[in-house]
A and B are shown apart, each in its own frame.
Chain A
Amino acid sequence: MSDREPELPGLLDGLVCVIRRDLHLAWRRPGDVLNPLFFFAIVSTLFPLAVGPDAEQLALNGPGVLWVAALLAALLSLNSLFLNDYEDGTLEQLLLSPQPLPLLALAKAIAHWLVSGLPLVLVSPLVAMSFQMPARSTAVTMLTLTLGTVSLSLLGSIGAALTVGLNRGNALLSLLVLPLAMPVLIFGARTVSLAAAGDATSAGVYFLGAYCMLALTLAPFATAAALRISNE
């Protein structure tokens, strides 16, 4: 048995396998999916209560609040992205599997987005409505939030990989990821405001798309390198 090279499962098999497992786990513990969602909803409720019910002001500040809430909600679930796997030893098994690690890191980020980012995108029209934002901005809100949350999951996976296993990794993670996420926030929130005002939005959407592609190509490699370092 030792002489012949063992046949490997295909590259995509590993990717699909990790995504499927993480979704399965999220299904077993729905709290992981629902917590960021509730957080998002509660922050969005707090805002009108704090600012007052003035419709004009709500509509004006709505995009910004929506985006900050989405950013913080995505961050909330990032800490456990690799931590659970680290604690039960499955991360070690992933690192020692014959699959290319960047691909597995990409799979983890995709699973994170499916579990935490996608639900936010889906409920965002409701929140936007409660902020009295005009209906014409709904499509742009969802599109930019999609691109933005994907970028955040990827960017956040780098931070999560760097801080996995450290004491107080959670606070550190926010400190590392938030400044890097600034362009996403800026372009996301401004583009939604422009859409709400009825202005052209293509510049912001293109930028977010480009940023998302950049993150998609580079972040998995950074995450993989960070995971190897964190597991020394």
Chain B
Amino acid sequence: MWTFLHKLSSPPHFYDLAAKMIPWFAAGSLLLIAYGTVAGLFFAPPDYQQKDAFRIIYVHVPAAYLSMMAYVVMAVSAGIGLIWRMKLAHAVAAGAAPLGAWFTFLALVTGSIWGRPMWGTWWEWGDPRLTSELILLFLYFGYMALRAAIDDTARADRASAVLALVGAVNVPIIHFSVEWWSSLHQGPTLIRVGGPAIEPVMLWPLLAMILGFMLLFVALLLGRVRTEVLFRERRSRWVRKLVYPEETA
């Protein structure tokens, strides 16, 4: 186990291994998302209250899940990179941020599209989940802006890691405070999805979509980390050999 981890953290091994793993994750996610989309759009019966508009949850909920998962992945790997000075962990954090921002954006837009027929407005401040998603998007922007503002990669890694950890402490607090705030507001909230009450015909596509999105995230993340590793290791012998084999030939 330990030697496996050690091997994994060595950049050339990671670079090759990730290349081999990406197709599997991509294929898995493709299958699950295809099943989830078809089943969610065409086979699941319409919700008795929200009618066919509820089908948006099959893309909204997985996107919202991922937006938070990406932050956790980012903060945890930033912490690992900061404490154990593992360069690969910093590369993971750097790769997770833009993906997290994209999925947060997606969760916001699909949530808003869902809200339009439900609430009659595109944006409802009374919904705590959408509001926290918006703040989460700003947190991602801040993280990426800080990274972009620092030229030296090692310094950017460590500075943004501090920010990610501070953000990780704050995210639950933000969520809690937004919830408290909207509970006073008495605004319309969405009917909770999930729980054992939901019918299996409706639930299975949702679970498939969530899992499919997660696999997709892993595949995308591995791809981005490969790019990061390639760039960060640009002076090393293995990268030179890889990108310009003629030099050694």
Contacts and interface: CB of A to CB of B under 8 A. Distances in A.
Interface in B56-113: 82
B149 A166 contact: yes
Contacts of A169: 149
Given A178-B138, A179-B139, A190-B181, A229 B155 contact: yes
A6 B150 CA distance: 38
B158 to A, nearest CB: 5
A182 B150 contact: no
B81 to A, nearest CB: 12
Contact of A180 (B146, B152, B166, B180): B166
Contacts of A211: 173
Interface in A173-232: 175-176, 178-180, 182-183, 186-187, 190, 194, 203, 207, 211, 214, 218, 222, 225-226, 229-230, 232
B159 A175 contact: no
Given A172-B146, A176-B142, A180-B167, A162 B177 contact: no
Contacts of A178: 138
A172 B147 CA distance: 11
Chain B interface category by residue count:
20 to 34
11 contacts: A162-B159, A162-B163, A172-B149, A179-B135, A179-B139, A182-B174, A183-B170, A187-B181, A225-B162, A226-B159, A229-B159
Contact of B184 (A172, A190, A225, A232): A190
Given A158-B166, A186-B181, A211-B173, A179 B158 contact: no
B146 A158 contact: no
B221 interface: no
Contacts of B138: 175, 178-179
Interface of B: 82, 135, 138-139, 141-142, 145-146, 149-150, 152, 155, 158-159, 162-163, 165-167, 169-170, 173-174, 176-178, 180-181, 184
A145 to B, nearest CB: 17
A84 B137 CA distance: 32
Nearest to A223: B162
Give me the 4 closest cross-chain CB pairs, A-B, nearest first: A183-B177, A179-B138, A176-B142, A229-B158
A207 B145 CA distance: 30
Question: Which of A183, A211, A225 has most chain B Cβ within 10 Å?
Answer: A183
Contacts of B184: 190, 194
A183 B177 CA distance: 6
Interface of A: 158, 162-163, 166-169, 172, 175-176, 178-180, 182-183, 186-187, 190, 194, 203, 207, 211, 214, 218, 222, 225-226, 229-230, 232
B108 to A, nearest CB: 14
A190 B82 CA distance: 37
Contact of B149 (A167, A187, A232): A167
Which secondary structure dominates chain A's binding surface?
Answer: helix
Given A166-B150, A172-B146, A183 B173 contact: yes
Given A162-B146, A183-B177, A218-B169, 18 more contacts: A166-B149, A167-B149, A175-B141, A175-B145, A176-B142, A176-B146, A179-B139, A180-B166, A180-B167, A182-B135, A186-B178, A187-B177, A187-B180, A194-B184, A207-B180, A222-B165, A226-B159, A229-B162
B110 to A, nearest CB: 21
A228 B243 CA distance: 36
B106 to A, nearest CB: 19
Nearest to B181: A186
A230 B154 CA distance: 11
Most B CB contacts (10 A, CB to CB) among A182, A186, A190 go to A182
B146 A163 contact: yes
